[in-house]
């Protein structure tokens, strides 16, 4: 089946599900059909140790009977099965309580960008042969061992991709579909020095093969992360600047996203609830959620309920401008959806801190004394109060240079203090996920060590 025919067929099945739900008594209905061809392989040493290839097809139906809602998913895409699923969802909806905020979004996705405009699909991913992916995983294993004699094993080198079709139809007149691709490569070498063992990992992901970091770069960075912390010691307890390397910085933003979700704000589980318009961060803190960036992994023409994606400035030069909403919580809180519905929850599109200038090395060179964090451990983030505390590993910085590796310490502060304390942002932003960040420096945090 051609791509065009595949999309048309997906839309037809979704429309059939909506019509079936309306015939069964629903006042409103929505159907999302997802098709995914997935490939994933793992190599260790000279052997392929895992190979997974699958095609998934699922239909997600959301129905409303007045102010009552029910959802149901099925993998039976024969017409009788779809009709039965839609009817069952309507029966379930009649059994739940009324919710005045329940319902489909108003028709508002007519200006959504198309698949081609957003550059979501790449033929080089869709056409790649399985053997090429297996060879690449084995190549990554060879490369990590060539980089350093201390690499004696690995937790696996991985190569994979997904080719997906998404079609959404609702009873308010919306009908849309798009194809997308995603490819990734990663490696996790294990280094041994004497009686000490260290593990590192590094990976890259993109819509197109051409946008991935090459296998040599992935292997080199993975090995560097594995071997660089040999000889690490525990730092003394102190308050110093902390530099978050971009991957760790992205995890900080992921925690911040949870506090920006209107679903958490609505139930008092966010330290940012009721603070729109407040100055919270430094002038360097401009944070954006944007689902319209061409070629990026978090982009799509519309969100999980058919609302057109958009650019939302969340923080502007430190001032909180907006939370992030789906239709339900926008109604509940008197706002407008920001196009962030996904998977039954509020989800990021491309959520990122705007980049500054220079590399991570430049940022280190401008820092007389600090801790550079390369990895955080554990979960000690409290979204209601905004407290932040994580175990960490990284390097001590002295005189604008990396001095020695450090581990077995905790970094702690509050999100408010961290955002206000961001006094330098690097230019190393890379869109290899839906939540990304450049490296940044916080002027002072508590380091709990010796």
> Once rounded to an integer, what is the mean pLDDT over residues 308-313?
97
Does the pLDDT value for residue 120 go beyond 80? yes
Q: What is the DSSP string of 387-427?
A: EEEEEEEEEEEETTEEEEEEEEEEEEEEHHHHHHHEEEE-S
Helix (H) or strand (E) holding 199: strand 196-199
Determine the distance from the C-alpha atom of residue 48 to the mean position of all C-alpha atoms in its chain, rounded to a whole number.
Answer: 28
Residue-wise pLDDT for 397-424, tens only, equals 999 999 999 999 999 999 999 999 999 9
Residue-wise pLDDT for 231-265, tens only, equals 999 999 999 999 999 999 999 999 999 999 999 99
Residue-wise pLDDT for 336-345, tens only, equals 999 999 988 9
Rounded to whole angstroms, how far apart are CA atoms 408 and 398?
A: 19
Contacts of 77 (CB under 8 A, 6+ apart): 13, 33, 57, 59
| 3-state secondary structure at position 446 | strand
Residue-wise pLDDT for 271-282, tens only, equals 999 999 999 999
Determine the distance from the C-alpha atom of residue 20 to the mean position of all C-alpha atoms in its chain, rounded to a whole number.
Answer: 34
Q: Give the pLDDT confidence score for residue 112 in this predicted structure.
A: 54
Residue-wise pLDDT for 197-226, tens only, equals 999 999 999 999 999 999 999 999 999 999
Residue-wise pLDDT for 315-327, tens only, equals 999 999 999 999 9
> Once rounded to an integer, what is the mean pLDDT over residues 147-164?
96
Rounded to whole angstroms, how far apart are CA atoms 139 and 185?
A: 11
Helix (H) or strand (E) holding 250: helix 246-260
Helix (H) or strand (E) holding 211: none
CATH architecture classification, 3-227: 2-Layer Sandwich (3.30)
Does the pLDDT value for residue 392 go beyond 90? yes
> Once rounded to an integer, what is the mean pLDDT over residues 155-174?
97
Q: Give the pLDDT confidence score for residue 76 in this predicted structure.
A: 96
Does the pLDDT value for residue 445 go beyond 90? yes
Q: Where are the domains of the chain?
A: 3-227, 231-450
Mean pLDDT of the chain: 95
Confidence of residue 111 (pLDDT cuts 50, 70, 90): low
The terminus-to-terminus CA distance of the chain in angstroms comes to: 64
Does the pLDDT value for residue 79 go beyond 80? yes
Confidence of residue 109 (pLDDT cuts 50, 70, 90): very low
Rounded to whole angstroms, how far apart are CA atoms 192 and 394?
A: 18
How long is the chain?
Answer: 450
> Once rounded to an integer, what is the mean pLDDT over residues 70-86?
96
Answer yes or no: are the C-beta atoms of 176 and 168 closer than 8 Å.
yes
Rounded to whole angstroms, how far apart are CA atoms 413 and 391?
A: 12
Does the pLDDT value for residue 2 go beyond 80? no
Confidence of residue 6 (pLDDT cuts 50, 70, 90): confident
Confidence of residue 62 (pLDDT cuts 50, 70, 90): very high
| 3-state secondary structure at position 272 | coil
Determine the distance from the C-alpha atom of residue 170 to the mean position of all C-alpha atoms in its chain, rounded to a whole number.
Answer: 26
Rounded to whole angstroms, how far apart are CA atoms 408 and 394?
A: 10
Does the pLDDT value for residue 5 go beyond 80? no
Residue 243 forms beta bridges with which residues? 372, 441
Cβ-count burial of 399 within 10 angstroms (0-12 exposed, 13-18 middle, 19+ buried)?
A: exposed
Q: Give the pLDDT confidence score for residue 380 in this predicted structure.
A: 63
Rounded to whole angstroms, how far apart are CA atoms 447 and 242?
A: 9
Does the pLDDT value for residue 188 go beyond 90? yes
Confidence of residue 450 (pLDDT cuts 50, 70, 90): confident
Q: Give the pLDDT confidence score for residue 394 in this predicted structure.
A: 96
> Residues of the chain with pLDDT > 70: what percent?
97
């Amino acid at each position: 089946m051609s791509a065009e025919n595949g999309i048309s067929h997906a839309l037809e099945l979704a429309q059939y599900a909506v019509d079936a739900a309306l015939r069964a008594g629903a006042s409103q209905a929505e159907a999302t059909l997802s098709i995914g061809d997935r490939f994933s392989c793992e190599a260790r040493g000279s052997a392929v140790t895992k190979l997974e290839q699958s095609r998934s097809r699922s239909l997600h139906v959301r129905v409303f009977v007045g102010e009552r809602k029910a959802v149901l998913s099925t993998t039976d895409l024969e017409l009788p099965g779809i009709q039965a699923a839609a009817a069952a969802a309507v029966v379930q909806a009649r059994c739940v309580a009324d919710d005045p905020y329940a319902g489909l979004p108003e028709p508002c996705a007519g200006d959504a960008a198309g698949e081609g405009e957003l550059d979501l699909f790449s033929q080089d991913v869709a056409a790649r042969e399985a053997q090429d992916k297996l060879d690449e995983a084995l190549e990554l294993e060879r490369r990590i061992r060539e980089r350093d004699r201390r690499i004696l094993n690995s937790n696996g080198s991985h190569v994979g991709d997904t080719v997906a079709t998404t079609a959404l139809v609702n009873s308010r007149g919306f009908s849309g579909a798009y194809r997308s691709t995603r490819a990734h490569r990663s490696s996790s070498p294990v280094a041994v020095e004497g009686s000490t063992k260290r593990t590192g990992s590094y990976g890259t992901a993109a819509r197109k093969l051409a946008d991935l970091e090459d296998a040599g770069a992935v292997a080199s960075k993975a090995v560097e992360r594995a071997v660089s912390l040999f000889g690490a010691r525990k730092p003394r307890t102190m308050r110093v600047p902390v530099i978050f390397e971009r991957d760790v910085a992205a995890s900080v933003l992921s925690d911040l996203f949870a506090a920006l979700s209107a679903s958490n704000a609505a139930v008092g589980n966010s330290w940012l609830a009721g603070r729109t318009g407040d100055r919270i961060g430094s002038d360097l803190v401009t944070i954006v959620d944007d689902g319209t960036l061409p070629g990026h992994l978090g982009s799509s023409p519309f969100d999980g309920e058919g609302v057109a994606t958009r650019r939302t400035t969340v923080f502007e030069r430190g001032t909180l401008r907006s939370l992030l909403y789906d239709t339900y919580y926008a109604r509940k809180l008197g706002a407008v959806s920001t196009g962030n519905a996904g998977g039954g929850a509020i989800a990021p599109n491309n959520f990122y801190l705007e980049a500054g200038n220079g590399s991570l090395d430049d940022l280190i060179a401008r820092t007389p004394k600090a801790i550079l964090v390369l990895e955080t451990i554990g979960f000690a983030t409290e979204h209601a109060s905004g407290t932040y505390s994580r175990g960490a590993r990284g390097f001590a910085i002295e005189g604008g240079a990396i001095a020695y590796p450090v581990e077995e310490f905790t970094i702690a502060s509050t999100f408010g203090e961290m955002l206000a304390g961001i006094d330098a942002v690097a230019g190393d932003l890379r869109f290899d996920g839906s939540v990304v960040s450049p490296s940044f420096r916080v002027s002072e945090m508590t380091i709990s060590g010796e």
